[in-house]
């Protein structure tokens, strides 16, 4: 659908990525269309899968999750069914914020939030095991959030 996005769609998406709670009136005024047009375009963006979710982004530290780790996973066996099984397992884990299949030495990269080191240790010993096709994993701990975002700027 990217080739079908016009300047109004892009402007709407840029606004909603900053604040999905904007009233339709504010969106319509900002992009210079009627409220009905703005509503119809947003619904089309949702129906076509361009907008996949509208969520609140929570500061992990303010809700008791003081540890964020970037985890590089090396799989024991590389086959499609085992990778899909691992992806499903990670999708089911609430502490896994992101799971990416990546190129290079690692097969997957995870972003994991944990309450503390004991909580993270339970995650690794329970899930990052040979039984789940994990040969090796390396953890890097986030010291400071310089930038953490979700916006894709459309121009």
Report pLDDT digits (tens) over 43-74.
Answer: 999 999 999 999 999 999 999 999 999 999 99
Instruction: Evaluate if residue 3 carries a pLDDT over 70.
Output: no
- How much is the pLDDT for 148? 84
pLDDT value of residue 149: 87
Query: What is the pLDDT at residue 2?
Result: 53
The dihedrals phi and psi of 95, each to the nearest 5 degrees, come to -80, -10
Cβ-in-10-Å burial (0-12, 13-18, 19+) of 96 comes to middle
Residue 84 pLDDT: 95
> What is the tens place of the pLDDT at every residue in 74-84?
999 988 999 99
Is the model's pLDDT at 1 over the cut of 60?
no
Q: Is the pTM of this model over 0.75?
A: yes
């Amino acid at each position: 659908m990217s080739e079908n996005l016009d300047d109004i769609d892009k402007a709407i998406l840029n606004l909603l990525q900053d604040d999905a709670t904007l009233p339709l009136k504010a969106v319509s005024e900002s992009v210079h269309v009627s409220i009905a047009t703005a509503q119809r375009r947003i619904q089309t963006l949702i129906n076509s899968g361009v907008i996949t979710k509208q969520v609140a982004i929570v500061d992990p530290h303010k809700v008791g999750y003081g540890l964020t780790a970037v985890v590089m996973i090396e799989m024991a066996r590389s086959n499609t069914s085992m990778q899909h099984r691992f992806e499903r397992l990670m999708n089911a884990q609430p502490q896994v914020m992101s799971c990416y299949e990546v190129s290079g030495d690692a097969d997957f990269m995870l972003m994991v939030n944990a309450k503390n080191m004991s909580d993270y240790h339970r995650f690794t010993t329970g899930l990052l095991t040979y039984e789940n096709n994990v040969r090796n994993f390396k953890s890097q701990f986030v010291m400071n959030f310089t930038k953490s975002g979700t916006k894709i700027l459309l121009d």
